[in-house]
Structure formats: structure tokens, C-alpha cells
Amino acid sequence: MYPEASPTEAPPADRNLAEAVTTFVELRPRLFGIAYRVLGSATEAEDVVQEAWLRWQRTDRSAVVSPAAFLSSTTTRLAINVAQSARVRRETYIGPWLPEPIDTSIDAVAGAERAEALELALLLVLQKLTPTERTAYVLREAFEYGYSEIAEILRLTPVNARKIVSRARKHLTDDERDSVDVQEHRRLLDAFVAAAQEGDVASLEALLTPDAVSLSDGNGLRGAARVPVIGRARVANLSTAASRFWPTVEIAPVQANGRAGVLLYRDGRPATFMTIAATRRGIHRVLWVFTPDKIAGFLGSRAACARPPARPGDAVARELTQEGSGSSGSSYAACRG
């Protein structure tokens, strides 16, 4: 593993390694932030940072003029390599692929850098770019690198670096560029969950944009929708069709990628993560993550106010794609206070 301990614990004879540890630990938040935004996977980002640490250990550090530039370049190039292979692997992914959400309420590393290019919906759009376009955009928009710095990292000319960033920006719709603030995002999510619990289709439709899309990441798990659900009415009906599952799960508010989300627990363990993406027009994306590996990072984030299940039931994923009826009292509203 890369170091976590204080470099003061290093023996005197290993002062150079101690200095290397200090430098790496200071830069680690930025390195993880770059890798995560490029890859959309905390697991893969951690692997990239680990490899960057190993290379930093093996490098003749006396010849390195700027450790920050060296480590950022190393991490970025490693992330691009992983992204290129990941694109091939995702061709066999069953159903929509969503970025892995990270718990920014307890992860100081994830929250240590700028919030730009961190929202799940934007990360999803970035995955449609080439690894080089994605990386250039992340370095510029999330970390404010100059075009000459981006060019050096990506081995381009500054002019080409500027063109690539410009091309990447054009892929973003007005919705991706015009997200509501954190408080309004929380308000809309609260309203969405409350309406879904009550089976209130009219209220849900009032919250959703006409072109709203619901995406479920389950990689073949039974019940997780394998195609996007498109349109205000269909998304609202899908959410209320699951109304009978709400009393059977614990609902815990969390902060994921700097924005509000909810975890749905079953048997004391997170079963599903859900969040939204919204602009002044309303909610235009509803994102569900069922894949266990992608929500494992929330195991330590259970909210104390979450309500125990009222009765045993079927898997959350199955309930979310079946017709249902009825309504339930809202523990989520009470939990939010």
C-alpha cells in the first residue's frame, strides 16, 4: 500500500524515503482526484495511485525538478491506460454503466480538491469522451491546469491541448453545465423520495423534466433495468411502481460526490444507492446503483435515524422494476428533519 504513516517514523538512515513519503502523502488527494474523475471508479483510481507510489519509490528523485508535476503526469498517464482497457471491458457490461459513487461526507481525500467534474451525472457524460479528451477536460476544469501543463502531461502541443478541451466542452449539454446548487439539489431529492414513497405520480411528474431519464446500474442483477427509462411519465411510473418496497428498507441520507443521495439498506447492509441530477428545469436524471462492489464504500455511512424494515420483502432491484401499489409513511422526511 502507499504510505499513511507520518514520515517522522522513518529511521534516520532512510531520510530520503521519509521525504518521498511526505511528498506523496501531501499530493495523494490530488492524484486520487485526477484518477477518479478520469476513470469513474474509486477502486481503479486507488490502484492507479498505488502504482504511482511504487513508481515514485523507484524513481531517481534527485533528478525530479517538480515532484507535483512528476506525480501528476505519472498518475494521469496510468489512468489513461486503465481507461483505454476499461472501455473494452464495459462493452460486455450488462445494462447501463454508472460511475462508482464515493462518500464525500467521510472521505477527506475525495473532498480535499475542487468539486468541479465530480457529480455522478457529469462523470457519466465524461465517460463518453475519449480518454485523452476526458483527461484534458478534468485537468483544466477540475484542477485548473494551464494548457502548457496539459500539453506536457498528454505529450501534445498547447494549441492541440486547447482544442481538445474545447471539443470536450462541446459534448456537455446545458443540463450538465447548469446544475442546481447543493441546497436545491437536496430539496429536490427530498421531494422526489417523499413522492415516490407515497406513490404520488402527479408530484413526481411535476419534479421531472419532460426528457427525464432513469438509469439503473446492476450489471445483470435480476430486476435492475437493462435499458434506460426515458420520459417524465415513464420515470414517474417506475418510481411509484416500487412504492411497496419503501416500507421494507431503511433509508439513509448520504453525501456522494459532493451531492445529496440516499442509501437503501436491507438486512443492515446497503443494497441500493440513488441520487438525482437537476437543473432549474427540474430533475433530468435519476440514477440507481445496485452493483454491490460500487456501493461497498458506504458500509461505514449508515445514518442513525434510518428506520428498520417494516416487513421482509423481495430484493430492492426487483421491486423497482415491477408494478406495485399502495403508499407508506415517510421515515425519510423525519430523518431529514
pLDDT digits (tens, 9 = 90+) for 46-62: 999 999 999 999 999 98
Helix axes 15-39, 42-58, angle to 10 degrees: 150
Query: In this model, does residue 312 exceed pLDDT 50?
Result: no
At position 31, the amino acid (one-letter code) is L
Residue 2 has what pLDDT? 52
**Range of lowest pLDDT (80-84, 122-126, 229-233, 240-244):** 240-244
Residues 233-262 have pLDDT tens digits of: 999 998 877 656 677 778 899 999 999 999
Residue 118 has what pLDDT? 85
**Range of lowest pLDDT (86-90, 182-186, 244-248):** 244-248
Angstrom CA distances, 177 to 118, 130, 152, stand at: 12, 19, 27
Question: CB count, 10 Å around CB of 305?
Answer: 15
Instruction: Please state whether 294 falls in left (phi above 0), alpha (psi between -120 and 50) or beta.
Output: alpha
**What integer best gives the mean pLDDT of the chain?**
82
Give the domains, in start order, of the chain with CATH numbers: 7-177 (1.20.140.160), 182-336 (3.10.450.50)
Cβ atoms 217, 224 nearer than 8 A = yes
HEC per residue, the chain: CCCCCCHHHCCHHHHHHHHHHHHHHHHHHHHHHHHHHHHCCHHHHHHHHHHHHHHHHHCCHHHCCCHHHHHHHHHHHHHHHHHHHHHHHHHHCCCCCCCCCCECCCCCCCCCCCCCCCCHHHHHHHCCCCHHHHHHHHHHHHCCCCHHHHHHHHCCCHHHHHHHHHHHHHCCCHHHHCECCHHHHHHHHHHHHHHHHHCCHHHHHHHEEEEEEEEEECCCCCCCCCCCEECHHHHHHHHHHCHHHHHHCEEEEEEECCEEEEEEEECCEEEEEEEEEEECCEEEEEEEECCHHHHHHHCCCCCCCCCCCCCCCCCHHHHCCCCCCCCCCCHHHHHHC
Query: In this model, does residue 115 exceed pLDDT 90?
Result: no
Residue 197 has what pLDDT? 86
At position 8, the amino acid (one-letter code) is T
The percent of residues in the chain predicted with pLDDT above 70, rounded, is: 77
Q: Pick from 44, 118, 121, 102: which is nearest to 75 by CA? A: 44
Residues 251-308 have pLDDT tens digits of: 899 999 999 999 998 888 888 999 999 999 999 999 999 999 999 888 765 543 444 3
Indicate the pTM of the whole model. Answer: 0.82
Residue 300 has what pLDDT? 64
Q: Average pLDDT in the 160-172 region?
A: 92
Residue 170 has what pLDDT? 87
Residues 19-46 have pLDDT tens digits of: 899 999 999 999 999 999 999 999 999 9
Q: Average pLDDT in the 145-153 region?
A: 96
Q: Which pLDDT band holds residue 320 (cuts at 50, 70, 90)? A: very low
Residue 243 has what pLDDT? 59
